Amino acid sequence: HAVHELIIQKNVTRSERLLIKGGRIVNDDQSFYADIYMEDGVIKQIGDNLIVPGGVKTIEADGKMVIPGGIDIHTHLQMPFRGTSTVDDFSQGTKAALAGGTTMIVDHVIPEPGSSLVEAFERWREWADEKVCCDYSLHVDITHLNDSVKQEVLSLIKEKGVNSFQVYMAFKDLYQMSNSELYEIFTFLGEHGGIAQVHAENGEIIAEEQARMLEMGITGPEGHVLSRPEELEAEAVFRAVTIASQTNCPLYVTRVMSKSAADIILQARKKGNVVFGEPITASLGTDGTHYWSKNWAKAASFVTSPPLSPDPTTPDYLNTLLASGDLSVVGSAHCTFSVAQKAIGKDDFTQIPEGVNGAEERMSVIWDKAVVTGKMDENMFVAVTSTNAAKILNLYPRKGRIAVGSDSDLVIWDTDATRTITAKTHHSAAEYNVFEGMELRGAPMLVICQGKIVLEDGNLHATAGTGRFIPCSPFPDFTYKRIKARKQLAILKAVPRGMYDGPVSEFSPMSRGGTPSASTRTSPTKAPLRNLHQSGFTLSGPEEAPIRPAGRRIVVPPGGRSNIISLS
């Protein structure tokens, strides 16, 4: 077996010093042969014939690929749910991640609507610090909006190491945000260097469709996908793109589940929008036909939102867009419930707790579906499983790259290994696996996390509580260079005119047939009351506006911002 090809010179499983000899280092930009020497959890040397201290544990890679450990940018471990929580806690979940070659996770903090974001964040920190077996970071979901929420967002960005915040366009009357609220949040995040993540589905229409399905007597898991057609996902993505471009805020669409949604993202990127799409293991590896399974428990295990598409060509299409760079990163959205928990919704699909597994299978699914099929090469594989995530969240090059000074989170990847996914052998605590029976080529042979071997010979040696919280700082270059440049461009100018001194019609200031009544407005000719864009926008002087200039150019950055119409 593949694992036996490793020649372990010293039988020490816990070593602060490690040498990988004869590996082919695969980064997102190139592959090359070199040895890697690690000490204290950091890569110290890369090259041939390294001079290393004696007694160092040496791993013979035999020309196999050594890649940066995967970053699972989207997990819901130990997520509270109506008094219980998901079955994979931070220990179980990170073990599953490590077993699949992922050495860092980014989990979502979900504050109860109305409660404090910082408190929820601290609670998640507590849960995670006690149990995680690998490094982690946290996204914080914004589930309600008021002024104190903004203050909390600011302190999370400045003091707590959070730079990504998710908002929901679905889950009406619970998490869902209105367009105005999205605008406000995006504006705020754009100013403070955060990344706006969205759960993109039109919650209003879903609520209508759910009511219709239930009234028609459709109560099983198929009702879940029937009430959430992919057009509603695409619509919400389109809307989020519009608002993000309006507010000049980088956008990150979590869980890209359908072809239509992916298409909107790629079109937006072609128009120049700063938007990233995250397909998940499930949408890349399986489809929504299983909602029609006669086994209720099995069908229910696929329930997640947006749902898996019943169109069986979806996974192949998403893998293609991932390979072409139109989609950027892959998460697992790992959020597992037991059958008994799912059974809360046995008589009503809207009550089924949502989420699928995928942390353990993520890397292998992508290798099998995208690399083995020739869609992408090994470097692109590293980009979508690790590097791009690190860049987006400002963790690069500490994470996501094999380089001197980077964290020693490494995976020796065996391209020939083949395994069959089954709930019998997986590391998740759930009874079902959405990839059950799938044979996947490509698997980690050895996983090193924080400089320690955690997977070897098929055995996990993970220790709960050893993972560290990795703070993410704001204004990641990868996302904000373009945003900053666009801010410079966004100069709005008023036309200097003499005062209009002609006759003015009498009118009643009540409701009107043409424009919204503007009741709460003060005299607008005064100085700006609240300048949302203090760094970028200026009121500059007069501008000649010829009547019909033939060769006029509109200066706008690609795709973006519409309000930047400076006529020259």
Partner 1 sequence: LVLSQGEQTICTCTSDRLLIKGAKIVNDDQSFCADIYMEDGLIKQIGENLIVPGGVKTIDAHGRMVMPGGIDVHTRFQMPDRGMTAADDFYQGTRAALAGGTTMIIDHVVPEPGMTLISAFNQWREWADSKACCDYSLHVDITEWHKGVLEEMEALVKDHGVNSFLVYLAYKDVFQLTDSQIYEVFSVIRDLGAIAQVHAENGDIIVEEQRRILELGITGPEGHVLSRPEELEAEAVNRSVTVANQTNCPLYITKVMSKSAADVIAQARKKGTVVYGEPITASLGTDGSHYWSKNWAKAATYVTSPPLSPDPTTPDYLNSLLSCGDLQVTGSAHCTFNTAQRAVGKDDFTLIPEGTNGTEERMSIIWDKCVVTGKMDENQFVAVTSTNAAKIFNLYPRKGRIAVGSDADLVLWDPELTKIISAKSHNLAVEYNIFEGTEVRGSPLVVISQGKIVLEDGNLHTTEGSGRYVTRKPFPDYVYKRIKARSRLAELRGVPRGLYDGPVCEVSVTPKAMTPASSAKTSPAKQPDQPVRNLHQSGFSLSGAQIDDNIPRRNTQRIVAPPGGRTNITSLG
Is the CB of residue 304 less than 8 Å from the CB of residue 384?
no
Of positions 212, 404, 405, 488, contacts partner 1 by CB under 8 A:
212
Binding of partner 1 by 532 (CB under 8 A): yes
Task: Select from 4-12, 41-49, 148-156, 233-241 the region that touches partner 1 (CB under 8 A).
Answer: 233-241
SS3 labels along 32-94: EEEEEEEECCEEEEEECCCCCCCCCEEEECCCCEEEECEEEEEECCCCEECCEECCCCHHHHH
Q: Mask of contacts with partner 1, 24-63, x by CB under 8 A?
A: ----------------------------------------
Is the CB of residue 447 less than 8 Å from the CB of residue 460?
no
β-pairing, 65-68 vs 17-26, is parallel
Q: Mask of contacts with partner 1, 430-459, x by CB under 8 A?
A: ------xxx---------------------
Packing angle between helix 90-99 and helix 117-131, nearest 10 degrees?
60
Task: Select from 131-139, 276-284, 296-304, 452-460 the region that touches partner 1 (CB under 8 A).
Answer: 296-304
Say how many C-beta atoms besides its own lie within 10 A of residue 565's C-beta.
Answer: 13
Q: Which is nearer to partner 1, 138 or 564 (CB)?
A: 564
Q: Which is nearer to partner 1, 70 or 345 (CB)?
A: 345
Give the C-alpha separation, 443 to 416, whole Å.
Answer: 8
Q: Which is nearer to partner 1, 218 or 489 (CB)?
A: 218
Task: Please state the closest distance from residue 337 (CB atom) to partner 1, in A.
Answer: 8
Q: Compute the Cα dihedral for 186, 190, 191, 193 and give only its sign.
A: positive
Q: Which is nearer to partner 1, 37 or 168 (CB)?
A: 168
Is the CB of residue 132 less than 8 Å from the CB of residue 90?
yes
17: three-class secondary structure by DSSP: strand
Task: Please state the closest distance from residue 510 (CB atom) to partner 1, in A.
Answer: 6
Task: Please state the closest distance from residue 52 (CB atom) to partner 1, in A.
Answer: 48
Binding of partner 1 by 424 (CB under 8 A): no
Q: Provide the b/e sequence for 433-455 (b: ≥16 CB within 10 Å).
A: bbbbebebbbbbbbbbbbbbbbb
Task: Select from 28-36, 123-131, 219-227, 250-258 the region that touches partner 1 (CB under 8 A).
Answer: 219-227
Residues 114-173 interacting with partner 1 (rule: CB under 8 A): 171-173
Number of Cα atoms under 13 Å in the Cβ half of residue 178: 4
CA 544 to chain centre: 46
Residues 169-198 interacting with partner 1 (rule: CB under 8 A): 171-174, 178-180, 183-184
Question: Which amino acid would we find at residue 185?
Answer: I
Q: Which is nearer to partner 1, 218 or 460 (CB)?
A: 218
Q: Which is nearer to partner 1, 421 or 454 (CB)?
A: 421
Of positions 54, 529, 541, 568, contacts partner 1 by CB under 8 A:
529
Of positions 60, 62, 204, 377, contacts partner 1 by CB under 8 A:
204
Residues 84-113 interacting with partner 1 (rule: CB under 8 A): 84, 110
Q: Which is nearer to partner 1, 4 or 82 (CB)?
A: 82
Task: Please state the closest distance from residue 538 (CB atom) to partner 1, in A.
Answer: 9
Q: DSSP class of residue 469? A: B
Question: Which amino acid would we find at residue 451?
Answer: G
Q: Is the peptide bond before 397 cis (omega within 30 degrees of 0)?
A: yes
Task: Select from 18-26, 77-85, 153-161, 188-196 the region that touches partner 1 (CB under 8 A).
Answer: 77-85
Of positions 25, 299, 390, 449, contacts partner 1 by CB under 8 A:
299
Task: Please state the closest distance from residue 221 (CB atom) to partner 1, in A.
Answer: 8
Task: Please state the closest distance from residue 291 (CB atom) to partner 1, in A.
Answer: 8
Residues 332-371 interacting with partner 1 (rule: CB under 8 A): 338-341, 343-344, 346-348, 350-355
Structure tokens, 513: 């047939």
Task: Please state the closest distance from residue 329 (CB atom) to partner 1, in A.
Answer: 22
Of positions 306, 310, 451, 557, contacts partner 1 by CB under 8 A:
310
Say how many C-beta atoms besides its own lie within 10 A of residue 215's C-beta.
Answer: 8
Residues 473-512 interacting with partner 1 (rule: CB under 8 A): 492-500, 502-512
Task: Please state the closest distance from residue 436 (CB atom) to partner 1, in A.
Answer: 7
User: For partner 1, how many residues bind (rule: CB under 8 A)?
Assistant: 134
Nearest to 469 by CA among 395, 410, 377, 524: 395
Q: Compute the Cα dihedral for 349, 355, 360, 363 and give only its sign.
A: positive
Nearest to 106 by CA among 388, 448, 479, 365: 388
Structure tokens, 408: 């020693």
Residues 315-334 interacting with partner 1 (rule: CB under 8 A): none
Region at 325 (left for phi over 0; alpha for psi -120 to 50; beta for the rest) = left
Region at 358 (left for phi over 0; alpha for psi -120 to 50; beta for the rest) = left
CA 489 to chain centre: 29
Binding of partner 1 by 563 (CB under 8 A): yes
